[in-house]
Amino acid sequence: MALRCKRHSEKANVLMKPYLIGICLVLLISACARSEPAPWNGPKLSWPRDQLTVAQLQADELLPLIDMSYFAKPAWATEAAHHFSGSVSFVETALTFPKNRAAYAGEDIFPAFSVDLIAHEGTLIPVQTGPIVAGGQRNSFWDVIVGPGRVWQEETDDEWSRASLPLSMIDRYMGQVRNCVAAFTYQPDTISNIYLQCSQETADFNDNSGGDLRVMLAESVYQPTNFLNAEQVIAEHIQHQARRLAVLPLNTIDPDGHIGAYFNKSLWTNASTSLGAVVVGEQIYLHPPRTRHGVYPYPNEMRHGVWSVTKSMAGALALFYLAERYGDAVFDELVTAYVPALADHSAWQGVTFAHTLNMATGTEGSEAAEHLLNILVLARTAEESINNIARLGDYPESPGEQYNYASTNLFVLSYAMQSYVEEQEGPGVYYWDLVHENVLKPIGAEYFTLRHTLESDGSQGLPILAYGAMPTLDEAAKIAVLMANEGEYKGQQLLSREKVREALGRSDWAGYATDERGVTYRHSFRSRLVRISNLCTVDVHYMLGYGANLVLLLPDDVVVLRFMDEFDFALDDLTRRVAKQIPLCR
What's the mean pLDDT in 311-320?
98
| Residues of the chain above pLDDT 90, percent | 91
Single pTM value for the model: 0.94
> What's the CA gap between 356 and 372, in Å, rounded?
15
Rounded Cα distance between 254 and 424, Å, is: 49
312 pLDDT above the threshold of 50: yes
> Measured between alpha carbons, how far is 415 from 400 in angstroms, rounded to an integer?
20
What's residue 17's pLDDT?
41
Asked if the model's pLDDT at residue 36 lies above 50, the reply is yes
Query: pLDDT at position 4, please?
Result: 41
**Does pLDDT of 297 surpass 50?**
yes
Q: What is the pLDDT of residue 586?
A: 77
For residue 20, what pLDDT band results from cuts at 50, 70 and 90? very low
pLDDT at 135: 59
Please report which confidence band the pLDDT of residue 15 belongs to, taking 50, 70 and 90 as the band edges.
very low
The CA radius of gyration of the chain, in Å to the nearest whole number, is 24
Chain mean pLDDT for the chain: 93
Answer yes or no: is pLDDT of 352 > 90.
Answer: yes
Q: What are the tens digits of pLDDT across the range 439-491?
A: 999 999 999 999 999 999 999 999 999 999 999 999 999 999 999 999 999 99
Q: How many CA atoms lie within 13 A of 453 on its CB side?
A: 24
Structure confidence at residue 380 (pLDDT): 95
Task: Answer for the pair 312, 551: CB distance below 8 angstroms, yes or no.
Answer: yes
Neighbours of 56 (CB within 10 A): 18
Is 60 exceeded by the pLDDT of residue 52?
A: yes
- DSSP letter assigned to residue 118: E
Q: What span, in angstroms and rounded, lies between the C-alpha atoms of 16 and 255?
A: 37
CB 216 within 8 A of CB 95: no
CB 467 within 8 A of CB 308: yes
Residues 118 and 163: beta-carbon distance below 8 Å: no
How many Å apart are CA 483 and CA 49, to the nearest integer? Answer: 46
Q: Provide mean pLDDT across the span 79-84.
A: 98
The CA distance from 547 to 373, in Å, is 17
545-555 pLDDT per residue, tens: 999 999 999 99
